[in-house]
């Protein structure tokens, strides 16, 4: 485990899939999904440096106010003390009925911007069987199980700069898939390990 500045790491992983320090492959196609926030390290730093946590929270509030944005609920400091908030999330506890009924506008906005990340996810290997087309740069993708074959066709056409996605056929185990099939349906009905 390495402790690295998250923003620097994210910028680095946009172009690379290896650790910036030891050059070990994090993940072949989705390295950003395999990095995590080191809460233990952050707790230790907060305990060693008096007032740091409060100063960081203050800076975050000032940052949001400066941009004219509403401060997210977890750094407002109004609904709960920071330590209780962090401890309850770390231990997997959920909100009380009282708090769960008071869904804030920030939570609603987060749900709207979720882009199906909370859906069941499937990993797909997209291999080109045609000699007329070049393969994708990254053949593995991870997406919502609710995505359809039509979504995949549009994605592939965009990545390969094709004028029409209708000319593409997507196969699973040498069987053409219908454009309205969800990936969940394909996994359940068509996928067989070979």
CB neighbour class for 153 (10 Å; exposed up to 12, middle 13-18, buried from 19):
buried
* CATH number belonging to domain 6-95: 3.30.40.10
Q: Residue 6 phi/psi, 5° resolution? A: -60, -45
Distances 81 to 15, 68, 73 between C-alpha atoms, Å: 39, 24, 11
Are residues 142 and 30 in contact, defined by beta-carbon separation less than 8 angstroms? yes
Nearest one of 169, 160, 154, 157 to 136, comparing CA atoms: 160
Task: Give the pLDDT score at 112.
Answer: 60
Task: Give the pLDDT score at 151.
Answer: 93
Tokens 């609710």 -> residue: 146
What is the maximum alpha-carbon separation in the chain? 64
Distance CA 107, CA 103 (A): 6
Are residues 103 and 111 in contact, defined by beta-carbon separation less than 8 angstroms? no
Q: In this predicted model, what pLDDT tens digit does every residue of 125-178 receive, in sequence order?
A: 888 888 788 888 888 999 888 899 999 999 999 988 888 888 888 998 888 888
Distances 84 to 44, 55, 95 between C-alpha atoms, Å: 16, 18, 12
**179 CB neighbour count, 10 Å cutoff:** 17
What would the two tokens of residue 165 be?
């996605």
Q: What is the DSSP string of 66-115?
A: HTTPPPPHHHHSSSS-HHHHHHHHHTT----HHHHTS--HHHHHHHHT-T
CB neighbour class for 60 (10 Å; exposed up to 12, middle 13-18, buried from 19):
middle
What would the two tokens of residue 152 be?
């995949």
Task: Give the pLDDT score at 77.
Answer: 52
User: DSSP secondary-structure letter at 144?
Assistant: E
Task: Give the pLDDT score at 130.
Answer: 81
Which of 3.20.20.70, 2.60.40.290, 3.40.50.11540, 3.10.20.90 is the CATH number of 121-189? 3.10.20.90
Note the pTM of the prediction, 2 decimals. Answer: 0.42
- Where along the chain do its domains lie? 6-95, 121-189
Task: Give the pLDDT score at 30.
Answer: 80
Task: Give the pLDDT score at 63.
Answer: 86
Q: Render each residue's pLDDT in the chain as its tens digit; 194 residues.
A: 566 777 788 888 888 888 888 888 888 878 877 777 677 777 788 888 888 888 888 988 888 888 888 877 655 554 334 344 444 443 444 444 444 444 555 555 555 666 666 778 888 888 888 878 888 888 899 988 889 999 999 999 998 888 888 888 899 888 888 888 889 888 888 777 64
């Amino acid at each position: 485990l390495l402790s690295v500045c998250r923003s620097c790491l994210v910028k680095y992983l946009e172009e690379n899939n290896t650790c910036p320090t030891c050059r070990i492959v994090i993940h072949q196609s989705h390295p950003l999904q395999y990095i995590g926030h080191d809460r233990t390290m952050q707790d230790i730093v907060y305990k060693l440096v008096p007032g740091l946590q409060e100063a960081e929270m203050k800076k975050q509030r000032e940052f949001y106010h400066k941009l004219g944005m509403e401060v997210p609920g977890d750094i407002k400091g109004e609904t709960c003390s920071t330590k209780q908030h962090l401890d309850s999330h770390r231990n997997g506890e959920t909100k009380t009925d009282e708090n769960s009924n008071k869904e804030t506008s920030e939570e609603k906005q987060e749900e709207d911007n979720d882009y199906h990340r909370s859906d069941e996810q499937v990993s797909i290997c997209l291999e080109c069987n045609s000699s007329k087309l070049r393969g994708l740069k990254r053949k593995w993708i991870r997406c919502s199980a609710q995505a359809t074959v039509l979504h995949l066709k549009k994605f592939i056409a965009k990545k390969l700069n094709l004028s029409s996605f209708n000319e593409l056929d997507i196969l699973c185990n040498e069987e053409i898939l219908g454009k309205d099939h969800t990936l969940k349906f394909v996994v359940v009905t068509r996928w067989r390990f070979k």
